[in-house]
């Protein structure tokens, strides 16, 4: 094509020199048919071999009351409040984490802040943690520089939440104070993006029937103002694939669960000295041939051939 003005050719698609972007992930709203049934079946909790992180007891608890409820009316002021995603998991902004009246009324036992990395981040969450200290609640924080750091803190956030839930459940079992199940509030400055991503990632990792779309739907159902950008959706999609791979590896009896971590798997050499030596397969040529001696098979195969590669 010379670009002549009298040509009748027309481009079929818009042309761009930019790199192709990932396809957009569309998340439809939940559809309700009956008010007393959940539009999403979360499934069973994935067992953790670590007893301090195993939350199998959640299978015996009614955790989806908020999910079964028909969405109520939403106004702008509601974004300043925290909402219940599951009975033990709340999502909201930092202003809700500083509201001691709300913390007591909702029965919050721990606040988990998603804060910017550095001194500024600590200053942002200081007032919320002060309120938690005054109410003698547990507190924890995970730090991120930006959205791309989220995937690295998802596993740590899940460990913090689950370890607290397990500790509170043990107190209930033995009748120690405070004898109540754990209830965690996950918050960031707005409660709409980074903390929402942490909650969605926790749902993906905890329940066997929750994928990326369902996790986002659950968060948006409870907190309508959640903002899952295309970048955060792609990060959650990658994390979902990592979670599935982790479960697949844990199902392999050759690896111990304690050696499985995001970021790599340590190879365990065999203790059998005889079995560790590489064996020659009679049907596949070995790359590690002995160059110092003559191989009978190779001599027979090349008998009568010239050793000169080119003429």
| 170 belongs to a structural domain | yes
pLDDT of residue 291: 47
| 158 belongs to a structural domain | yes
pLDDT of residue 180: 86
Burial 26-47 (b: 16+ CB within 10 A, else e): ebeeeeeeeeeebbbebeebbe
| 5 belongs to a structural domain | no
In three-state form (DSSP H/G/I as H, E/B as E, the rest C), the secondary structure along the chain is CCCCCCCCCCCCCCCCCCCCCCCCCCCCCCCCCCCCCCCCCCCCECCCCCCCCCCHHHHHCCCCHHHHCCCCCCCHHHHHCCEEEECCEEEEEHHHHCCHHHHHHHCCCEEEEEEECCHHHHHHHHHHHHHHHHCCCEEEEEEECCHHHHHHHHHHHHHHHHHHHHHHHHHHHHCCCCCCCCCEEEEECCCCCHHHHHHHHHHHHHECCCCHHHHHHHHHHHCCCCCCCHHHHHHHHHHHHHHHHHHHHHCCCCCCHHHEECCEECCCCCCCHHHHCCCCCCCCCCCCCCCCCCCHHHHHHCCCCCCCCCC
pLDDT of residue 70: 79
Calpha distance 87→275 (Å, rounded):
52
- State the total domains in the chain: 1
End-to-end CA distance of the chain: 46
Tens of each residue's pLDDT in the chain, 311 residues: 455 555 677 777 777 777 777 788 989 888 776 667 788 889 999 999 899 999 999 999 989 888 888 777 888 999 999 999 999 999 999 999 999 999 999 999 999 999 998 888 888 899 999 999 999 999 999 999 989 899 999 999 999 999 999 999 999 988 877 778 999 999 999 999 999 999 999 999 999 999 999 999 999 999 999 999 999 999 999 999 999 998 888 777 555 545 555 554 444 444 544 444 555 555 545 555 454 455 666 666 666 666 555 54
pLDDT of residue 270: 46
Residue 228 belongs to domain spanning = 56-68+80-258
pTM of the complete model: 0.75
pLDDT of residue 267: 46
pLDDT of residue 255: 53
pLDDT of residue 301: 66
* Domain at 187, CATH number: 3.90.190.10
**Beta partners for 260?**
265
| 273 belongs to a structural domain | no
Calpha distance 85→212 (Å, rounded):
15
């Amino acid at each position: 094509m010379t670009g002549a003005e009298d040509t009748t050719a027309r481009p079929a698609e818009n042309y761009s020199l930019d790199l192709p972007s990932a396809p957009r992930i569309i998340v439809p709203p939940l559809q309700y048919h009956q008010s007393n049934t959940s539009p999403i079946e979360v499934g069973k909790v994935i067992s953790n071999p670590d007893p301090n992180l195993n939350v199998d007891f959640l299978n015996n608890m009614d955790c989806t009351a908020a999910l079964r409820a028909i969405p109520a009316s939403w106004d702008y002021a509601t974004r300043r409040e925290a909402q219940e995603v599951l009975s033990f998991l709340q999502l909201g902004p930092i202003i809700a984490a500083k509201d001691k009246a709300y913390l007591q009324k909702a029965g919050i036992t721990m606040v988990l802040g998603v804060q910017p990395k550095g001194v500024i981040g600590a200053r942002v969450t200081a007032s919320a943690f002060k309120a938690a200290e005054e109410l003698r609640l547990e507190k924890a924080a995970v730090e991120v520089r930006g959205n791309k750091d989220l995937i690295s803190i998802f596993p740590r956030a899940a460990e913090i939440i689950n370890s607290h839930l397990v500790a509170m459940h043990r107190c209930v079992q033995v009748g120690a104070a405070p004898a109540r199940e754990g209830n965690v509030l996950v918050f960031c400055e707005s409660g709409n993006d980074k903390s929402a991503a942490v909650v969605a990632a926790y749902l993906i990792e905890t329940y066997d029937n929750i994928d990326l779309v369902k996790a986002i739907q659950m968060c948006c159902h409870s907190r309508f103002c959640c903002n899952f950008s295309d970048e955060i959706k792609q990060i959650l999609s990658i994390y979902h694939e990592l979670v599935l791979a982790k479960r697949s590896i844990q199902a392999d009896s050759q690896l111990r669960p304690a050696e499985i971590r995001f970021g790599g798997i340590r190879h365990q050499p065999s203790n059998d000295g005889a079995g560790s030596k590489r064996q020659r397969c009679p049907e596949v040529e070995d790359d590690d041939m002995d160059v110092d001696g003559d191989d009978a098979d190779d001599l027979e195969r090349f008998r009568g051939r010239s050793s000169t590669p080119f003429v």
